[in-house]
C-alpha cells in the first residue's frame, strides 16, 4: 500500500525523509508521470509548504515555498504589473512552483524570454540525508561558482526535496497581440521559422501547429502594436488573422495548459531543433498523434494516445536519436528516447543522495 506524508513545516519534512529508505517529493500531482512513486517509495507531498515569503516588486524578485500554487504567485505578481517570464504550464490545473522546477517545464513565452532555468535565483532543499542545503540566493547578483540551483531544474525529485525557491520576474508588457498565419505546408512553415529566427524583429512566442499554421505573439506598447503587426506581415510577405485583448490572452493560456490535448492522451515533451521536425513529423503523422511545436520548433509537445504504449514512443524517439519525457499518463518510466549526460548527473546525485533515498527517473 502506498504511503503519503504531508509535512506542514520544513522540520517535519526532514523527520519524514530521515524516517524512510525511499522517498519521492510531490507537489500538486499535475504531472503524475514524474511524481508517481515506484513500489516501496513513500510520497512526500510538499503542498503544505506553501506561501510567498518575500516579494520585492522594485527588485523584480520573489521567494516562495515550493508547494505554492503558481496561480497564487501569478496573482500576486499581476497586482504589481509583473509576471513569470518562463510562462509555466498547467497553472489552471494547480501546478506548484516546486513542481515546475522539478519538471523543468516552461510555456510558449520561453521562445524569447528563456526557460525556468534562466529565472531561478536560488533554492533551499533537503538532500538525501535530510540536511537543509541552500544554493544561490534571493537576489539577482550572487557569488560566482557552481550554480546548484539550476541543477534542480528538471531533476524530478531525484536530487532533493525542494522547500523554498527564489526567482526574478519581468514587468508586464502594456499590450499583447497575436498573428495567425497559414502556410502551404510544413516546408514553408519551417522556412518562415528560420527566417524569423534571424530577422531583426522581437517575437514573444512562436508556435507551429502542423502541418502549416504559425502562431506568432508580440508584446509592447499599445500605440506601436498596429505598426508592428504590419511590419511582421511584411517580413512574412503575407497577411494573417489578428487577435488582441482577452481573446488573445485566453488563447495562449489554453496553449500553455494543454487544452488541445483531448481524452486520456498523455502529455509528452520532446526536445529537438527545427531541422529535425520533418523527421519527427514523418513518424508521427501516420499515427495521427495530436502535436504542437513550441519555442520556435525547439520543443515538440505530443498528446500520446492512451492506447499506444510508452515503449512504442521510446522506440520511435530512439530511432531518431531524440529525447522525451512523459508529464502525464502512467508509463513504466517517464524518460523515453535517447538521453545523454548521465555520468555527470550521476556524480551529482551520488554527492547529494549517497544512500540512494531518492528514486531514479
Task: Say yes or no to pLDDT of 233 above 90.
Answer: yes
261-308 tens-digit pLDDT: 988 999 999 999 999 999 999 999 999 899 999 999 999 999 999 999
Predicted model pTM = 0.93
pLDDT bucket at 259, cuts 50 / 70 / 90: very high
Task: Say yes or no to pLDDT of 217 above 80.
Answer: yes
Number of neighbours of residue 58 by Cβ within 10 angstroms: 6
Mean pLDDT of 317-326: 97
In whole angstroms, give the CA distance from residue 217 to residue 248: 9
pLDDT bucket at 140, cuts 50 / 70 / 90: low
Sorted by sequence, the CB contacts under 8 Å of residue 177 that are 6+ apart come out as 217, 218, 219, 225, 228, 229, 242, 243, 244, 248
Q: Which of 49, 50, 35, 30 is nearest to 4 (CA)?
A: 35
Task: Say yes or no to pLDDT of 143 above 60.
Answer: no
Instruction: Please give the backbone phi and psi of residue 10, each rounded to the nearest 5 degrees, phi first.
Output: -60, -40
Task: Say yes or no to pLDDT of 146 above 60.
Answer: no
In whole angstroms, give the CA distance from residue 59 to residue 57: 5
- Give the pLDDT confidence score for residue 136 in this predicted structure: 82
Task: Say yes or no to pLDDT of 47 above 60.
Answer: yes
In whole angstroms, give the CA distance from residue 53 to residue 307: 44
> What DSSP string runs through 165-223?
EEEE-EEPPSEEEEEEEE-SSHHHHHHHHHHHHHSS---SEEEEETTTEEEEEEEE-TT
Instruction: Please give the backbone phi and psi of residue 27, each rounded to the nearest 5 degrees, phi first.
Output: -95, -110
Domains of the chain in start order, with CATH, are 45-171 (3.30.465.10), 175-256 (3.30.70.2190), 266-333 (3.30.70)
Q: Per the structure block, which three cell numbers stand in for 69?
A: 500554487
236-246 tens-digit pLDDT: 999 999 999 99
Q: Per the structure block, which three cell numbers stand in for 191?
A: 522556412
In whole angstroms, give the CA distance from residue 128 to residue 134: 14
165-211 tens-digit pLDDT: 999 999 999 999 999 999 999 999 999 999 999 998 999 999 999 99
DSSP 265: P
The length of the chain is: 361
In whole angstroms, give the CA distance from residue 20 to residue 25: 13
pLDDT bucket at 357, cuts 50 / 70 / 90: very high
333-350 tens-digit pLDDT: 999 999 876 677 788 888
Alpha carbon distances (Å) from 120 to 42, 97, 106: 28, 11, 12
For residues 252 and 206, the answer to whether their CB atoms sit within 8 Å is no
- Give the pLDDT confidence score for residue 1 in this predicted structure: 58
Give the neighbor-by-neighbor strand order of the sheet with 205-209. Answer: 241-244, 175-182, 213-220, 205-209, 290-294, 299-304, 266-271, 323-326, 335-337
* DSSP E strand boundaries for the chain: 4-5, 23-26, 42-45, 52-56, 61-65, 82-83, 120-126, 132-136, 161-168, 170-171, 175-182, 205-209, 213-220, 241-244, 266-271, 290-294, 299-304, 323-326, 335-337
- Give the pLDDT confidence score for residue 139 in this predicted structure: 64
Task: Say yes or no to pLDDT of 35 above 60.
Answer: yes
In whole angstroms, give the CA distance from residue 196 to residue 217: 12
Task: Say yes or no to pLDDT of 145 above 60.
Answer: no
The region of weakest confidence among 79-88, 104-113, 128-137, 319-328 is 128-137
Alpha helix ranges (H) inside 199-341: 225-236, 245-256, 277-284, 310-320
In whole angstroms, give the CA distance from residue 16 to residue 44: 8
pLDDT bucket at 141, cuts 50 / 70 / 90: low
Amino acid at each position: 500500500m502506498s504511503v503519503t506524508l504531508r509535512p506542514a513545516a520544513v522540520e517535519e519534512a526532514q523527520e519524514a525523509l530521515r524516517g524512510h529508505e525511499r522517498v519521492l517529493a510531490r507537489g500538486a500531482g499535475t504531472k503524475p508521470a514524474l511524481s508517481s512513486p515506484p513500489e516501496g517509495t513513500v510520497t512526500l507531498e510538499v503542498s503544505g509548504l506553501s506561501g510567498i515569503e518575500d516579494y520585492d516588486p522594485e527588485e523584480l524578485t520573489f521567494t516562495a515555498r515550493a508547494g505554492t500554487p503558481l496561480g497564487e504567485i501569478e496573482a500576486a505578481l499581476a497586482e504589481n504589473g509583473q509576471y513569470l517570464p518562463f510562462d509555466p504550464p498547467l497553472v489552471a490545473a494547480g501546478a506548484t512552483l516546486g513542481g515546475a522546477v522539478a519538471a523543468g517545464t516552461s510555456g510558449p513565452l520561453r521562445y524569447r524570454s528563456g526557460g525556468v532555468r534562466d529565472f531561478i535565483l536560488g533554492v533551499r532543499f533537503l538532500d538525501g540525508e535530510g540536511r537543509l542545503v541552500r544554493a544561490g540566493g534571493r537576489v539577482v547578483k550572487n557569488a560566482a561558482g557552481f550554480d546548484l540551483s539550476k541543477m534542480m531544474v528538471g531533476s524530478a525529485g531525484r536530487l532533493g526535496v525542494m522547500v523554498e525557491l527564489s526567482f526574478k520576474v519581468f514587468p508586464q508588457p502594456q499590450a499583447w497581440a497575436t498573428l495567425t498565419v497559414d502556410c502551404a505546408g510544413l516546408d514553408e512553415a519551417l522556412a518562415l521559422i528560420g527566417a524569423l529566427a534571424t530577422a531583426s524583429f522581437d517575437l514573444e512566442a512562436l508556435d507551429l501547429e502542423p502541418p502549416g499554421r504559425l502562431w506568432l505573439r508580440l508584446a509592447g506598447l499599445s500605440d506601436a502594436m498596429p505598426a508592428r503587426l504590419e511590419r511582421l506581415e511584411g517580413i512574412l510577405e503575407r497577411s494573417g488573422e489578428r487577435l488582441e485583448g482577452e481573446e488573445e490572452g485566453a488563447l495562449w493560456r489554453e496553449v500553455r495548459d494543454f487544452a488541445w490535448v483531448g481524452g486520456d492522451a498523455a502529455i509528452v515533451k520532446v526536445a529537438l531543433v527545427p531541422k529535425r521536425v520533418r523527421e519527427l513529423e514523418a513518424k508521427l503523422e501516420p499515427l495521427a498523434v495530436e502535436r504542437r511545436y513550441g519555442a520556435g520548433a525547439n520543443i515538440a509537445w505530443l498528446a500520446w494516445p492512451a492506447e499506444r504504449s510508452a515503449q512504442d514512443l521510446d522506440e520511435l524517439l530512439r530511432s531518431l536519436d531524440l529525447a522525451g519525457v512523459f508529464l502525464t499518463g502512467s508509463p513504466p518510466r517517464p524518460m523515453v528516447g535517447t538521453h545523454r549526460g548521465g555520468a555527470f548527473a550521476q556524480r551529482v546525485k551520488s554527492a547529494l543522495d549517497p544512500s540512494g533515498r531518492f528514486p531514479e527517473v
